[in-house]
Amino acid sequence: MTIRIVLAQRFKDATCNDLLFLSRPARFHRYPHSPQSVVPTIRVKGSQLWANWNPRRKSDAIDDFLRAKKPDNAIVVKAWFPDVLDEERRLDLEVYPELIIERFASDMAPGDTFLTNDPFEGGTHACDFAVIRPIFAEGKIIAYSIAIAHLLDVGGAVAGSLPPNATSIFQEGLRLSGVRLTREDRLIHDLVRIVTENVRLPNLTLGDINAELAAVRIAERRILEAVAKYGPATLDATFAWLIATSETRARAVIETLPDGDYLASDIIDGDGATEDGIPIRVTVRIRGSDIEVDFTGSSPARDAPINCSRGALISAVKTVIKALVAPQEPSNEGWFRPLKVTAPSGSIFTAEKPSPTGWYYEGVAQASDLVWKALAPLVPERLSAGSYLSLCATYLSGSAAEGLFVHIEPQNGGWGATNKRDGASGMIAVTDGDTYNYSVELLEAKFPLFIRRYTYNVADGAGAGRHRGGFGLVREYVIESDHVILHASYGRTATPPWGVDGGREGSLNGIEVVRHGTRRRLTRPPHFPLQRGDRVLIITGGGGGWGEPDTRDPDAVAGDVLDDLITISDAATLYAVAIDPATHQVDRAATANLRQTRLREGRR
């Protein structure tokens, strides 16, 4: 197992015959799944150092220094993480410090904080502000603390800054590509003025930025507390150990998978400018303990904001890899050392300036789902069938008694079944996790909206299977103000979530607006005027099923009937299960007959 680290200038004359050692095992407090210390042996390869980390059980304290060990050609080395990655392996959180170093390398001091929201410099979209703070100890930068938050509005063509019909990033609001936010912990007022003059809700925006500043300062405080207790060398060694042991465990999981190329393809259901399907594809290559995810063959970037940048793509892939190797563990870059992400520049997943990326989370959702789809049959104990996928973010903006209001809400939906259980119902999408749908009471108190209904989407159902998909939701708003505008961008509106091993497809997402009894279906509306009394139904789909439906436990089918998730007719049609209408119990003789008949007719 190898860890790549940067060869410091002082070791530029080292050769491939030079061996480098750390003096003793680094010793650590024990973690539940990592009760080992490590002894690294470092070898020079060209312009880089490579370290082999061999687990050895030792004691539970940390060496506070690193020193040379014989033989005579040993050189003392202090590993610095994160390391430098080639262009195809650049990760968004690593790019942020690199961007700041590039811009301010000779002009950084304690109390400095920097800001970027550039999708093409490691970011996602203009609404995501990253606040970066270098952390100094003993006159040197030892780490960076980073806080990333979605700001409600950063200017641009529409309230909320995400026009679904944008054709250029310049329509998506203010973009600040690596600028200084504080000096000696004092805000740069000229920059603050630029921000407040270009957003619709300046007080809210400044409040969010101040919250991010507080977050990175707290992180700095905690890091410096550790430095004061253990010393900076110990902290570096601890970081290195965490990354090394995570890589070891990730490689151990990947090595259990058979070598091969695993392909998946899918369709993005339009981009806002067109409803035509957009083809995408991935090839996942597993070789030993390495895994490559290659998106070659996917559509070029669109003149529409469902594109994502390379940094966002890599983050999306990392989500799936983490689910594969260690879904419950705290995250660090070691888990992703076996990973390489390949994608040609200028694709829908690697858009370049000035392509719009406002609804990037629709693009990255499709990217992560592709990888998920390719690997799900290979690791059924970890990955489910297809989910409702789209974040289904919905914007409602307009006038209220207090002035302008902007309501943005991601929507929950149905996840796919696994090979052991039914899919989760009403769960947030894979691209989210930091925001959730509003409680009904809070929403109604803040906005001129009334929630008429919030229930499972049983009408459209979920993918049938030995284990069925989870159910989506229906959330029905009633508009209680004049001059309200709806805009949104939903995926999975024509191509349903996929099933596995004979499991059936799930159901679709969509928006329905009901006015005076007339119902209209929408998918990616850029500007839809609403009237007082209009009903807006947010409909999210059910996940895909796993396994043939007529192998489902009849008692589980009866349970779904009792829970009003399916009808007695559905039980017979989808699962070949006969339910007694009087008792709602399984008629086992009739069920056996139904299933035998279906088997004879080949109608699984």
Query: What's the pLDDT tens digit per position in 445-461?
Result: 999 999 999 999 999 99
Do 314 and 391 belong to one domain? no
How many domains, the chain? 5
Q: Which residues contact 435 (CB under 8 A, 6 or more apart)?
A: 150, 410
Question: Is 244 a member of any domain?
Answer: no
Domain-terminating residue out of 213, 230, 247:
230
DSSP 276-345: SEEEEEEEEEEETTEEEEE-TTSPBPPSSTT---HHHHHHHHHHHHHHHH-TTSPP-GGGGTTEEEE--T
C-alpha 91 chain-centroid distance: 13
Do 376 and 275 belong to one domain? yes
Do 98 and 217 belong to one domain? yes
Do 309 and 399 belong to one domain? no
Long-range CB contacts (within 8 A, 24+) of 558-567: 558/584, 558/585, 558/586, 560/468, 564/458, 565/456, 565/458, 565/471, 566/458, 566/461
- Say if residue 232 is preceded by a cis peptide, omega within 30 of 0: no
C-alpha 418 chain-centroid distance: 20
| Residue 463 near residue 415 (C-beta atoms within 8 A) | no
Domain-terminating residue out of 363, 381, 399:
381
Rounded mean pLDDT of 205-218?
A: 96
- Give which of 9, 191, 180 is closest to 108, Cα–Cα: 180
Do 116 and 61 belong to one domain? no
Rounded mean pLDDT of 251-275?
A: 96
Tokens of 347: 């694709």
**Residues forming beta bridges with residue 13, ordered by sequence position:** none
Between these two residues, 57 and 390, which has the higher pLDDT value?
Answer: 390
Query: What is the per-residue pLDDT across 178-191, written as a single tens digit (0 to 9) for each?
Result: 999 999 999 999 99
pLDDT > 90? residue 427: yes
Tell me how far apart the alpha carbons of residues 85 and 43 are, in angstroms, rounded to a whole number: 18
Which of the four pLDDT bands, split at 50, 70 and 90, describes residue 106? confident
Which of the four pLDDT bands, split at 50, 70 and 90, describes residue 437? confident
Tokens of 431: 């691209």
Do 288 and 327 belong to one domain? yes
Which pLDDT belongs to residue 17? 31
Between these two residues, 88 and 489, which has the higher pLDDT value?
Answer: 489
Do 149 and 64 belong to one domain? no
Rounded mean pLDDT of 518-534?
A: 96
pLDDT > 50? residue 12: no
Question: Is 179 a member of any domain?
Answer: yes
Question: Is 250 a member of any domain?
Answer: no
Tell me how far apart the alpha carbons of residues 483 and 486 are, in angstroms, rounded to a whole number: 10
Its domain, for residue 351, covers: 258-381
Query: What is the per-residue pLDDT across 229-262, written as a single tens digit (0 to 9) for each?
Result: 999 999 999 999 999 999 999 999 999 999 999 9
Do 395 and 523 belong to one domain? yes
What is the b/e burial string over 547-558, where b = at least 16 CB atoms within 10 angstroms of the residue's CB?
bbbbebebeebb
Which pLDDT belongs to residue 585? 95
Tell me how far apart the alpha carbons of residues 564 and 571 are, in angstroms, rounded to a whole number: 11
Question: Is 405 a member of any domain?
Answer: yes
Tell me how far apart the alpha carbons of residues 60 and 453 are, in angstroms, rounded to a whole number: 56
Tell me how far apart the alpha carbons of residues 388 and 542 are, in angstroms, rounded to a whole number: 6
Do 213 and 121 belong to one domain? yes
pTM of the full predicted structure?
Answer: 0.81
Tell me how far apart the alpha carbons of residues 13 and 10 are, in angstroms, rounded to a whole number: 8
| Residue 268 near residue 306 (C-beta atoms within 8 A) | yes
